[in-house]
Amino acid sequence: MTLVNRPRRLRANGAIRSLVRETVLHVDDFVYPLFVVEGENLKNEISSMPGNYHYSVDQLEQEIQEISELGIKAVLLFGLPEHKDHCASQAYHEQGIVQKAIKKIKEINPELLVITDVCMCQYTDHGHCGIVENNYVVNDASAQVIAKIALSHAKAGADIVAPSDMMDGRIAAIRDILDNNGYTEVSIMSYSAKYASAFYGPFRAAANSAPQFGDRKTYQMDPANSDEALREIDLDLQEGADMIMVKPALAYLDIIRRAKDRFNIPLAAYNVSGEYAMLKAAAEKGYIDEKATALEMLTAIKRAGAEIIITYYAKDAVRWLRGETK
Ligand code: PBG
């Protein structure tokens, strides 16, 4: 018997492997998250996310230049306010931290796309992503505040607003308020399928946004569910989302694939803080090769169907892809 099918033929050397490669990472795939804080002269490394920093607005210049020179096209902004309160008033303040940062970034490089995370948890004293009444995060009032925050980001110059709160109806509320105020061209990237994940731990330490009581399970999705993700995405599209997101990414590649197969709309995946931190920690211990593991992880996320990857590895990945070693 002769062996006709020999898949190893197509793996014989580097040239043939590149010729038949299905998924290739590109700088245009990446969005880099940035954390801005009140104060001056601050560039402090985030201990739970090595290689990422808290920047005061006056320190953004060098970072934005670096991101731009690497060819990264978009950042995702998170703000840490000085004061928190019950209703997240600093989140929609004209002189709020994110609003100031958007203006500064646009001054430095108007071409860089500014995506803003729209949520309340960094801004509320209770740390929840909405308005709390009787120890419960109420939906409709929260969606109204979320819409107000999105509008204030649009006014400051954001290109894309990305609500991460998981309230029902917030996409409709945002589209409505944006359109009524003349911001028809501002896009919405919806954190549509956002799970109640333990992988957000390092981020919550970085953003000082852990809930002070209870958890986020009454609004973020149950990690055990998959059909529900499609339903969430479907609703967001009906309400006017321009782009959708699955979050986290690595433990949810099946959700990314299902979403990709079902919907014809740009799909983002958020390679979250815990996914980043576990590679960092393992690499530090010498258990894994960081560059190889990180690029494999990012390739897998793209192969699963994400065309946009939000990752703390964005800058490193671009350097690695360019063949530079750190
Ligand atoms: C805000 C928000 C969170 C993340 C992004 N936006 C935290 C949360 O929902 O608790 C997590 C990002 C990450 O872990 O990298 N709601």
**pLDDT tens, N- to C-terminus, the chain (326 residues):** 899 999 999 999 999 999 999 999 999 999 999 999 999 999 999 999 999 999 999 999 999 999 999 999 999 999 999 999 999 999 999 999 999 999 999 999 999 999 999 999 999 999 999 999 999 999 999 999 999 999 999 999 999 999 999 999 999 999 999 999 999 999 999 999 999 999 999 999 889 999 999 999 999 999 999 999 999 999 999 999 999 999 999 999 999 999 999 999 999 999 999 999 999 999 999 999 999 999 999 999 999 999 999 999 999 999 999 987 65
Q: In sequence order, what are the residues at sequence separation of 6 or more whose Cβ sits closer than 8 angstroms to the Cβ of residue 24?
A: none
Domain extent at residue 128: 25-322
Number of domains within the chain: 1
Q: In sequence order, what are the residues at sequence separation of 6 or more whose Cβ sits closer than 8 angstroms to the Cβ of residue 33?
A: 52, 75, 76, 77, 78, 310, 311, 312
The CA angle 168-32-82, to the nearest 5 degrees, is: 70
Does residue 15 fall inside a structural domain? no
Q: In this structure, how many other beta carbons lie within 10 angstroms of the beta carbon of residue 125?
A: 13
Please give the distance, rounded to the nearest whole angstrom, from the Cα atom of residue 21 to the centre of ligand 1: 33
Q: In sequence order, what are the residues at sequence separation of 6 or more whose Cβ sits closer than 8 angstroms to the Cβ of residue 65?
A: 108, 109
Do the Cβ atoms of 60 and 36 come closer than 8 Å?
yes
Residues lining ligand 1, judged by CB closer than 6 Å? 117, 119, 121, 129, 164, 200, 203-204, 216, 272-273
Does an H or E element contain 56, and which?
strand 53-56
pLDDT in the model for residue 1: 80
Partners of residue 194 on adjacent β-strands: 247
Does residue 306 fall inside a structural domain? yes
In ligand 1, which atom is closest to the CA atom of 270?
15
Please give the distance, rounded to the nearest whole angstrom, from the Cα atom of residue 200 to the centre of ligand 1: 6
Which CATH number fits the domain that encloses residue 190? Answer: 3.20.20.70
Please give the distance, rounded to the nearest whole angstrom, from the Cα atom of residue 201 to the centre of ligand 1: 9
Does residue 196 fall inside a structural domain? yes
216 is in an annotated binding site: yes
What are the residue numbers of the active site? 194, 247
pLDDT in the model for residue 199: 98
Q: Best mutation site among 142, 149, 153, 203 for ligand 1, i.e. most ligand atoms within 8 A of its Cβ?
A: 203
Does residue 154 fall inside a structural domain? yes
pTM of the model: 0.97
In one-letter notation, the amino acid at residue 66 is: E
Does residue 132 fall inside a structural domain? yes
Does residue 143 fall inside a structural domain? yes
What is the secondary structure of 171-196 as a DSSP string? HHHHHHHHHHTT-TT-EEEEEEEEB-
273 is in an annotated binding site: yes
Does residue 78 fall inside a structural domain? yes
pLDDT in the model for residue 323: 80
In ligand 1, which atom is closest to the CA atom of 129?
16
